[in-house]
Amino acid sequence: MTFVPPAAPPQSEAELAARARLLGGRSLAELAAERRIQVPPDPRRAKGWIGLLLEQALGATAASRAQPDFPQLGIEMKTLPVDERGQPRESTYVCTAPLDGSMPRRWEDSWPCQKLARVLWVPIITPSRSEIGDRLVGTPFFWSPDPDQAELLRRDYQQLTERIDRGEVWDLDARHGEALQLRPKGAHGEDWVWALDEEGEWVQTSPRGFYLRASFTHAVIRRALLLPG
């Protein structure tokens, strides 16, 4: 199989779209083999690996999570594992949520808003118990929140941040937020961050991240693509 070197950063959204289009319908094993990358045997490590593989295929450069994957274009790439009918299999991580009071009050100034301003969604068709290499790349598509979605995200963000500011982070779980939710984030259980409690005291807690609910991403993909059934 021909070796395909890592792609250079795309110079325009159109160039990125053309590259992404060529990935649609191909298996992860094919894409990995072209780049001489080994497919991990452990599905639990799949999430990060798929992201890295696609970043390499598309020419993403941002090593830092604080900026979009394609910083020169202001575009974030998000893989979206879905079943054969296009139903997202999980919620989608957006970014970490600072719990130390440094979170901007206005949605427009926030990380999640900047991350979600322009997204290249790459569905990964992930049948139950499928091998990682057998999974197919779906049709990638660009998305920006429409006014309704932006309002929904803004409202969720403001409600979540208000409660974090009041020191109620321990009361927040995945049930809060219609589109955007706050959930524990951390590869290891021993990761800790500082947060303010209700009395204004500094305490250690597990890190949290902003996630998009699967129902929200389902609505996004349903509007963009023709889903089976």
Partner 1 sequence: MSLASPGGLGPAAPGRVRVLEDRLINQIAAGEVVERPASVLKELVENAIDSGARHLRVSLRGGGRELVQVEDDGCGMDKQDAMLCVERHATSKIRAADDLAAIRTLGFRGEALPSIAAVSRFELTTRRADLGSGTAVIIDGGRLVEVREAGSPPGTRVSVRSLFFNLPARRKFLRTEATELQHCQDTLLSQVLMREELGVELFHEGRPLLRAQPGEPLLTRVEALLGPSVRGLVPVQVRSEEVPGGLVLTGLASPPDLHLASARGSLWLHVNGRTVRDPQLRRAVLDAYRGLVPRGRYPVVVLDLRIEPSQVDVNVHPAKSEVRLRDAQLVLRSITEGLREALSERGIRASAMSPPRGMRSPSLEIERVQERLPGLQPPAPPAPPAPPPAPLPRPEPSRVQPARPEPPPPDLAWDSGAGPPQPARALGLRWIGTFGEAWLVCEHEDELILVDLVQARAQRVRRAMAERPPPRPLLAPRTVELEPALAEAVGPRLPELLPLGLELEPFGGGTVCLRALSAPLAAADAPTLVRAACARLQEGLPAERIADRLARLVAESPVPLSPYEQKGLLEGLDLDEPGLALRMPAEELRRRLSRRGG
Query: Which residues sit at the interface with partner 1, rule CB under 8 A?
Result: 24-25, 82, 85-86, 123, 125, 136-139, 141, 148, 151, 155, 178, 221-228
* Comparison of 137 and 212: residue with beta carbon closer to partner 1: 137
* Comparison of 41 and 127: residue with beta carbon closer to partner 1: 127
What token pair was written down for 141?
A: 């598509």
Residues 218, 195: Cα–Cα separation, whole Å: 32
Closest approach, Cβ 219 to partner 1, in A, equals 8
Closest approach, Cβ 29 to partner 1, in A, equals 15
* Comparison of 91 and 126: residue with beta carbon closer to partner 1: 126
Stated as kind and residue range, the H or E segment containing 30 is helix 28-34
Closest approach, Cβ 155 to partner 1, in A, equals 7
Q: At what angle do helices 46-58 and 13-23 cross, to 10 degrees?
A: 130
Closest approach, Cβ 48 to partner 1, in A, equals 22
- Of 219, 17, 9, the closest CA to residue 119 belongs to 17
* Comparison of 44 and 175: residue with beta carbon closer to partner 1: 175
Cα dist from 139 to 67, 122, 142, whole Å:
24, 7, 10
